Each structure stands twice: as structure tokens, then as C-alpha cells.
Amino acid sequence: MKRSLTLAGLVLAPLLLFACGDEDPESSSTAEPQSSSSTFPVTVSRGKTAVEIEAQPEQIVSLSPTATEMLFAIGAGDQVVAADSYSNYPAAAPTTDLDGFEPNVEAILGYEPDLVVAASDPGDLVSSLDRVDVPTLLLPSATTLDDTYTQIEQLGAATGHVGDAAEVTSQMHSDIESIVAEVPDGEPVTYFHELDPNLYTVTGSTFIGELYEMAGMTNIADDAPNAAGDYPQLSPEYVLTADPDLIFFADGGPGGVTADAIADRPGWDQLSAVQNDQVVEVDPDVASRWGPRVVDYLQDLVDARSELQPAG
């Protein structure tokens, strides 16, 4: 009954923080200047999140798993001297015990960074680094694919890899266009994306919901009564009533939920997704990050949907 989408990983723990945060509207602009190669000094972002980088950084500390993936994708991996404990992709990432949620400024400074990249500003991270003239680039969790492209471009300008970043985003655009073209015609199929055994989920208005929509799927959570926010908790009764065509669960892995356990929930053996063997385990790490591997995730979603309803 269980099918697995094999995607290299991240962690479920930061999912609700990394994948559901609201983006600061003042941080969404692309970097300046817009050129084929970086010139320094360069100002990245604008408004209260703007950061000026005087020279091409050689000692980058990344406190965001997504930023780590982006940095390596644009060819800046050799400049990364330390990455947080969740930065487990790619394999070459210099993972440490640094924590992006509870950052230890003294430990960060021990790597002598000339640029720190983070997804948020917990405590006094940015102000503390400002006091010792270390610039901090904040790249909050994306809410759309356009946010992903923007952040890759910002990192390109910040690290001296503008051309490489442009190539990455161009390839992503091309790959996504090709993948979407594979989506079967016909009515969208319905899905339930499970974040944890308590039936917390995503709605169609989230970043990951956008990917499901591109794959030709409709989210059952969008019509749930009394569902609060973009990451609501559904009742078992509602899931049974909605009867999704596909169930994707991101709470598997060692000691986690299994497709058999989902089928064993009271009444769930009657769900169409269970009866049709359409309970799909997804890697929580890839599902929670908004870097270049969203292309891989979208491909697997389209594959799962096509298996349920082939093109023809």
C-alpha cells in the first residue's frame, strides 16, 4: 500500500516555521545592481531588511537549510564555512551544531563570517552581528515560487554569482514548464497532505499548496469548516467525508507514520486513496524547503497524479 517518493532530505521539525512564515513585503525585491556579474559593494533587498555587502564574502555562515541548498546550487558552496544543524543537503554542506532558531552569536562569530544568511531574526541575531560589522541577509520562508527565484537571485548578487543564479532560475523555469505540461487533462483530483498524526495540514494558498495546484490537484482543506489559517488541523471525520483521491504524508521515516498505520485508523480503510493504493510518503525535508529541489518535488507530485489518472 505504501509508495515512497525518494527525495533527499531535511527535517519535519522546522516545517511549520520554515514553510509557513509570512514574507516581509519589504524583503521581496531583487538585489541591486542587476548585472551579469556582481560588483561590490552591493545592496541586497530593500527597506528594513536591506543589507550592504562591501566585498565578495569568503566566509559565509548559513543558518537556513534552504539557503544552504541555494548557495551550493549557484556555485557558492566553497564560500560556506559553516551551516546549521538542519543543513543536511547537499552532502558537501559543512553541517555544524549551529541553530537557526536559537542562534548562538558567539559560536557563529567563531567561524569568522563576513556574511551570515538566515531565514529569520530570533532574539538579537541581526543587531548583535551588526555591532561587529557582520552583515546578515534574511531570506524568510517563501509563499510563492516567485519568492524562490528572487531569493536565489539575491544570493547570487550577495556572493558574486549573479550569472550562476540566473542560470539556476532559468533552468527551474524551463523544468517546471515541462513538468506542468505532463499534467493529465480533466478535472483536478483531490488530495490531503498530512504534516503530522494530529492531522495538521496545508491549504492551497501555501507555497506547497501552489505546487499541488500546478500538479492538477485540489486541496480538501480549502473547504474545511472552521479551519484556521494556512496550516489548519482537520478532524478525522472531515477527512473521511472529503474522501481525497490521494493522501500524501510527510510524517513518516524511522519511528513515524506508515501507510499501513493510516489505513488502520478508524474508518480510513474505506477512503478511496487507501483502497486504490494512493497513500504516498513524501520526504518532509524536501516538502518543507523552497530551494531548487522544488522541481523534483513537483515532478513526483505530477507522477503520483498521473498514476491515478494517466494522460490519454
- Are 171 and 188 in a shared domain? no
Amino acid identity for residue 110 in this structure: G
Regarding whether 209 and 116 lie in a shared domain, the answer is no
Structural domain ending residue among the three candidates 155, 176, 197: 176
CA 89/CA 86 separation, integer angstroms: 9
What pLDDT score was predicted for residue 120? 94
On whether both 82 and 210 belong to a single domain, the answer is no
Q: Are 285 and 9 in contact (CB under 8 A)?
A: yes
Whether residue 274 lies inside any domain: the answer is yes
Q: Regarding predicted confidence, which is higher, 1 or 194? A: 194
For residue 184, what pLDDT is reported? 85
Question: Over the range 55-69, which residues count as b (16 or more CB within 10 Å of their CB) and which as e?
Answer: ebbeebbbbbbbbbb
pLDDT at position 26, please?
Answer: 40
pLDDT band at 188 (very low <50, low <70, confident <90, very high): confident
pLDDT digits (tens, 9 = 90+) for 265-311: 999 999 999 999 999 999 989 999 999 999 999 999 999 998 886 65
Q: Are strands 51-53 and 42-44 parallel, antiparallel or unpaired?
A: antiparallel
> Phi and psi (nearest 5°) for 180?
-60, -30
Average pLDDT over residues 237-242: 98
User: Are 53 and 167 members of one domain?
Assistant: yes
Match 507522477 to its residue by C-alpha cell.
Answer: 303
* Residues pairing with 82 in the sheet: 61
Is there a contact between 47 and 87 (Cβ–Cβ < 8 Å)? no
Examine the domain organization and report whether 165 and 94 are in the same domain.
yes
Q: Is 128 exposed, middle or buried (0-12, 13-18, 19+ CB in 10 A)?
A: middle
The contacts of residue 30 (CB under 8 Å, 6+ apart) are: 150, 153, 154, 157
CA distances from 143 to 190, 245, 311 (A): 21, 25, 30
Asked if residue 228 and residue 191 are part of one domain, the reply reads yes
Structural domain containing residue 202: 2-13+184-308
**pLDDT at residue 155 in the model:** 98
pLDDT computed for residue 2 by the predictor: 40
Residue 114 lies inside a defined structural domain of this protein: yes
Of the two residues 46 and 247, the one the predictor is more confident about is: 247
Share of residues in the chain with pLDDT > 90 (%): 79
Gap between the Cα atoms of 19 and 40, Å rounded: 32
Among 154, 176, 198, residue at a domain's last position: 176
Which of 2-6, 54-58, 115-119, 221-225 shows the lowest mean pLDDT across its residues? 2-6
Interatomic CA distance for residues 187 and 261, integer angstroms = 30
136, 158 Cβ separation under 8 angstroms: no
pLDDT at 15: 38
The gap from C-alpha 217 to its chain's centroid, in whole angstroms, comes to: 19
* C-alpha closest to that of 218 among 250, 183, 269: 183
C-alpha cell at 3: 509508495
C-alpha cell at 251: 510524517
pTM of the model: 0.86
Identify whether 26 is part of a domain: no
Terminal CA-CA length for the chain: 25
Q: Point out the domain boundary residue: 176, 210, 236.
A: 176
pLDDT of 34: 38
- Domain total of the chain: 2
Residue at 201 is within a domain: yes
238 in any annotated domain: yes
The DSSP code sequence of 162-225 is: HHHHHHHHHHHHHHHHHHHTTSPSSSPEEEEEESSTT-BB--TTSHHHHHHHHTTEEEGGGG-T
pLDDT at residue 1 is higher than 50: no
Residue 22 lies in a domain: no
Examine the domain organization and report whether 212 and 282 are in the same domain: yes
Residue with cell 542560470: 167
- Decide if 25 is inside a domain: no
